[in-house]
Amino acid sequence: MAGGWAMVPILICSAVALAIVLERCLTLRRKAVLPPGLGEEVRQWARAGQLDPNHLQTLANGSPLGELLAAALAVRNRPRELIKERIEDTGRHVVHRMERYLNTLGTIALIGPLLGLFGTVVGLIRMFMEVMGGGIGDPAKMAGGIGEALICTASGLTVAIPAYVLHRYFRSRVAGYCVDMEKQATALLDDLTLTTPAATPRPRRAPAPSATGAG
């Protein structure tokens, strides 16, 4: 608390940022978002017709990728455009949940230096008011007061820099997951809509001989 009462919001921000980072590290593990082999397994289920409602519900609750694929399978008998719209709608909800708390982390990265600067300014104002009231007195105390004021700036930067770096890292990880989930959803969509064999064209009949007499 050498930086004064202005250190309190900085410490609160650091605790919130740490909690968000730990929670996102656990939630955004690759195995939790994109279980290995799930896309191919689901496509095999679709080919085999193993798609009862309980199966789809278990799939949707298992992972974000499973939720996306289950949404497509729920309307598998509909036209391709409708299945695609369902995938896009579900994908927006899935991405929103994967980005949960990242806006808060970005806000902490933004306001951390501002809180530090605010604490520094308040500390300097208090120090100069004391100087105006009682004179310079001991220069060592004045230097110590400046050092205490700058502690707020250093603390704000210490919180803001890691928060900003981790915010960008988590956003890039979510973007990468979105690309992978889109590939899996497209592969399932193709399996659901493009596996119907094309109709074999019927052979054309030979024209009937004309009823003209021989010359």
Q: Provide the CA 11 distance to its chain's centre, in angstroms.
A: 26
38/113 Cα distance (integer angstroms): 44
In contact, 71 and 57? CB cutoff 8 Å: no
Over residues 159-179, the pLDDT tens digits come to 999 999 999 999 999 999 999
Q: State the Cα angle at 121 between 2 and 113, rounded to 5°.
A: 80
105/6 Cα distance (integer angstroms): 20
Q: Which of 166, 178, 176 is nearest to 24 (CA)?
A: 166
* Average pLDDT for the chain: 83
Cβ neighbors of 91 (< 8 A, separation 6 or more) are: 68, 178, 181, 182, 185
Q: Which helix (H) or strand (E) holds 41?
A: helix 38-48
Q: What is the pLDDT of residue 117?
A: 87
In contact, 173 and 137? CB cutoff 8 Å: no
Kindly indicate the confidence band of residue 93, based on its pLDDT and cuts at 50, 70 and 90: very high
Q: What is the pLDDT of residue 151?
A: 83
| pLDDT exceeds cutoff 60 at 147 | yes
Q: What is the mean pLDDT of residues 73-87?
A: 89
Over residues 189-205, the pLDDT tens digits come to 988 887 544 434 444 55
Q: What's the pTM value of the predicted model, to 2 decimals?
A: 0.78
Cβ neighbors of 185 (< 8 A, separation 6 or more) are: 68, 69, 72, 87, 91
Query: Tokens 């309307």, residue?
Result: 75
Greater confidence (76 vs 142) lies with 76
Q: Taking the CB of residue 36, how many other CB atoms lie within 10 A of it?
A: 9
Domain boundaries, the chain: 7-193
Q: State the Cα angle at 87 between 81 and 88, rounded to 5°.
A: 90
- Six-digit token pair at 56? 């789809």
Q: What is the pLDDT of residue 183?
A: 93
95/174 Cα distance (integer angstroms): 7
Q: What is the pLDDT of residue 135?
A: 60
